[in-house]
C-alpha cells in the first residue's frame, strides 16, 4: 500500500519513485503552487492528467485545515466530476490533526502541527504491518555535505528552521529516527539499494 504526499509528480521520476499510488494527499496549496490556481485551461488540463493517473487511489484533501482551502476543493471536485475521473476523495476533519498531535504529545513529542508526512505515518501505523519511509530528510544537505532538494520534483527552498513554519521537521525526523532504531519502521535517508 503506497502513500504519496501532496500530489507529487511521478511520471518523469518513475525510475526513482515508481508510479503506483494507493493513497495520495493533496494540500489545497498544491492547486496554487503546482497548477497556477487553475487560472487557465492549460493548468486545469495538467491537473486532470495528473489525477487521471491515480486509478482508484484515495485522494486525501485536508480542505478544512487551512483558511480558504474549501475554495480550491470546490474547483477540484468540479474537475473530478466533469471529467469523470476514477478517484476516491476523502476530506479529514480538523479533529484529526488534534488527535494526531495529542497522540504524539502523550509520547512526549511536542509537535506544533504535524506535517503531512507525519500524519500519513501515524495513519499507516493503524493498518500496516511494516512501514518504509522515503523522503523524510529535513536538512538542506545530506550526511556528506551534498545539497538535498526540499522536494525531489521542484526548487522549493528549505524553511524547516523558520519560526514561522507550523512544522517542526527536525523534531519529527528525530522521532522517526528513534522509531527506526527500535525497528518500528524502516527510514531510508540515502540511496536505495536493490534487494
Residue spans of alpha helices (H) in the chain: 14-17, 29-35, 41-52, 69-82, 94-106, 116-124, 169-181
Catalytic residue annotation: 167
Q: Determine the Cα–Cα distance for residues 189 and 168; give it in Å rounded to an integer.
A: 18
The angle, 0 to 180 degrees and rounded to 10, between the axes of the packed helices 116-124 and 94-106 is 70
- Name the β-bridge partners of 187: 133
Q: Determine the Cα–Cα distance for residues 131 and 37; give it in Å rounded to an integer.
A: 34
Amino acid at each position: 500500500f503506497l502513500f504519496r504526499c501532496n500530489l507529487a509528480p511521478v511520471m518523469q521520476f518513475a525510475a526513482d519513485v515508481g508510479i503506483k499510488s494507493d493513497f495520495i494527499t493533496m494540500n489545497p496549496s498544491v492547486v496554487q503552487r503546482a497548477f497556477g490556481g487553475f487560472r487557465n485551461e492549460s493548468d486545469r488540463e495538467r491537473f486532470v492528467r495528473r489525477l487521471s493517473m491515480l486509478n482508484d487511489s484515495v485522494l486525501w484533501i485536508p480542505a478544512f485545515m487551512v483558511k480558504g482551502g474549501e475554495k480550491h476543493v470546490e474547483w477540484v471536485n468540479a474537475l473530478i466530476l466533469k471529467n469523470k475521473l476514477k478517484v476516491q476523495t476523502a476530506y479529514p476533519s480538523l479533529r484529526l490533526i488534534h488527535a494526531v498531535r495529542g497522540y504524539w504529545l502523550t509520547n512526549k513529542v511536542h509537535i506544533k502541527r504535524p506535517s503531512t508526512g507525519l500524519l500519513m505515518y501515524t495513519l499507516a501505523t493503524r493498518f500496516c504491518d511494516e512501514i518504509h519511509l522515503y523522503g523524510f530528510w529535513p536538512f538542506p544537505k545530506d550526511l556528506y555535505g551534498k545539497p538535498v532538494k526540499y522536494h525531489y520534483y521542484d526548487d522549493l527552498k528549505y524553511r524547516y528552521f523558520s519560526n514561522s513554519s507550523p512544522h517542526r521537521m527536525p523534531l519529527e525526523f528525530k522521532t522517526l529516527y528513534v522509531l527506526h532504531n527500535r525497528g518500528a519502521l524502516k527510514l531510508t535517508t540515502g540511496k536505495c539499494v536493490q534487494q
